[in-house]
Chain A
Amino acid sequence: MSISIENLNKRFGDHVALNDINLEVKSGELLALLGPSGCGKTTLLRIIGGLDVADSGKLLVNGLDIAQRDARERNVGFVFQHYALFRHMTVFENVAFGLRVKPRKERPSDAEIKRRVTHLLQLVQLDWVADRFPSQLSGGQRQRIALARALAVEPKILLLDEPFGALDAKVRKELRRWLRQLHDELHITSVFVTHDQEEALEVADRVVVMNHGKVEQIGSPDEVYATPASPFVYQFIGNVNLFHSRIHSAWTEQHGDAVAYVRPHDIDISHTQQDNEALAGEIKLIRAVGAIVRAEVAVAGSDELVEIELSRERFDAEPMVNGDRVFIRPRQVRVFE
């Protein structure tokens, strides 16, 4: 099922939540909506799921306008950040819920419900907790049950709202890898919302970066990281150093009012001056963090601190300590006016 969103707008009072959103979700892909909190990503997801209504614009699923349809008629699976499991039902009844509320004619028999629920619980590797209540499960288990429940009605589209947001770091990593595998098995068109860039880059086929109710960039994880389309994307995804053209005109190769964006790992650092574009500075702090070495360099003649990342190999070839006089030079610069 492909989803296509055209000129979608949504306001809450004076606040513009979504401003003229245009977006295509391809059939079978896993798309991430990435942005800071309040950027409208959850609102967009809720509108696709029918839990909120857009003020204007089109929402097409397989070319069919579904904007006027109720959430219950959309055949969309929704997974909530805080699980939203039915607290008074067992895990089994939670997963069976979508089957039990079907109209009598479409409702499967009890034996069929049992078979399908058991199958789903096996799929999320939790068939052994069928008789427990949600309050007796860990966060990661609850979210897997929530996913099984959403899948029970065989939705055409799966929507996940910050699905791992309430979990601790380790479980989050495990679960997102597991979600990616599950998606590769089921190939169900999925959209998930996250504010965690690492999560979006690791899991999604394509990433939509949003800010202030607008789409900033749509692209593969590699595209949005390597070639950010706007200063916002540059700063939101990964770390970045800013250089104003008024001070560093040699770097920006421009004399107007522009800003150069440089990733910390795109800066060379050396005791010897590379060429006359290099800036002199002093190492304020240098330390190894896992596989990389991080340095903060104060540029001579200004109070700016430049963040630099270099590989351990590079560091071992030319060791440096705090207080060293060094020269820095960018390998790759992106200029935005």
Chain B
Amino acid sequence: MSLTTNNRIAVNTRITTTESKPVIGLLLIVALTYLVLFLGLPLYAVFHEAFSKGSELYWSALKEADALSAIKLTLLVAVIAVPANLVFGIAAAWAIAKFEFKGKSLLITLIDLPFAVSPVVSGLVYVLLFGAQGWLGPWLMEHDIKLIFAVPGIVLATIFVTFPFIARELIPLMQAQGRDEEEAAVSLGASGWQTFWRVTLPNIKWGLLYGVILCNARAMGEFGAVSVVSGHIRGLTNTMPLHVEILYNEYNFVAAFAVASLLALLALVTLGVKSLVEWQAQRSGEPLHGAH
């Protein structure tokens, strides 16, 4: 008798844990409509507008001197900011995940700061610090060092805005992996350096790559913070997003969307590489994120 009651309960719970078909369909339609409306359509618009006056005009907009220098500056900023945050991210994640020290939670909070602060504000902080009227402005002027409205300021602002990406990716991963393997390596006679290269780094490689991709995408696409410190000097301190804005404000829509299409392309490539990394990590059985 009691057996049949149990069975009935089991059947009931199975029914209540799955949604009915119409509900699933409705959820799917809502999600897809949202995607098309807010992601697909704008993406299509960018490329449509860029090629609206033919591909010749498109290419000439990209080959124009100011556009080229904006592309170069964007690449330069990424080439400096990403490795800087790579080193910082690994160091911070290692310290937080594998050691106990005072002020650890403060460090974690500070790493999150750029996510919490508006990019414009982070840009303004640099102006306040290093600008002509800023705290360190007079000293920098005396020594003929120009940070604000110059390339170094753009690099600094970009590093600030992008520094959580790699650290945030690595901390949960390294915390989940624990210290056991490193301790085993040391007890087997490995030096700190050998332990890092042979044990720690291979264990975090997929998570690290994932963080680098996201960091790079943001470094190239950052607008707010860079806009404040750049000064918008054509051919000198314009990154691609800033260049797009200037062209757009001059009603040069084809050129604006042509440069914007490069950024959109970068986003697509980033997404592609990101899924590739996720797929590879899954295939090799090494979890990308901390939780299994």
Contact = CB atoms under 8 A, between A and B. Distances in A.
Nearest to B184: A84
Interface of A: 49-51, 70-72, 74, 76-78, 80, 82, 84-88, 97-98, 101-102, 133, 135, 146, 149-150, 152-153
Contacts of B189: 72, 98, 101-102, 153
A135 B180 contact: no
B263 interface: no
Contact of A101 (B190, B285, B286): B190
B30 to A, nearest CB: 39
Contacts of A77: 187
A12 to B, nearest CB: 9
17 contacts: A51-B186, A71-B186, A72-B190, A74-B187, A86-B184, A86-B185, A87-B181, A87-B203, A88-B286, A98-B188, A98-B189, A101-B185, A101-B190, A146-B184, A150-B188, A152-B188, A153-B188
Interface in B167-214: 180-181, 183-191, 194, 198-199, 202-203
Contact of B183 (A84, A97, A101, A149): A84
Main secondary structure of the interface of B (DSSP, over half): helix
- Chain B interface size range: 10 to 19
A80 B180 contact: yes
B190 A87 contact: no
Given A86-B199, A88-B203, A101 B187 contact: no
Contacts of A71: 183, 186-187
Contacts of B203: 87-88
Contacts of A49: 187
> What 8 A-B pairs come out closest when comparing CB atoms?
A84-B180, A98-B188, A78-B187, A101-B190, A84-B184, A88-B202, A72-B189, A71-B186
Given A87-B286, A88-B286, A51 B183 contact: yes
A149 B198 CA distance: 15
A78 B181 contact: no
A146 B190 CA distance: 16
A82 B286 CA distance: 17
Contact of B187 (A72, A88, A133): A72
A76 B184 CA distance: 11
Contacts of A82: 180
A72 B183 contact: no
A163 to B, nearest CB: 13
B103 to A, nearest CB: 16
Contacts of A150: 187-188
Contact of B198 (A74, A101, A152): A101
Nearest to A88: B202
Contact of B285 (A72, A98, A135, A152): A135
Contacts of A133: 285
Contact of A76 (B187, B198, B202): B187
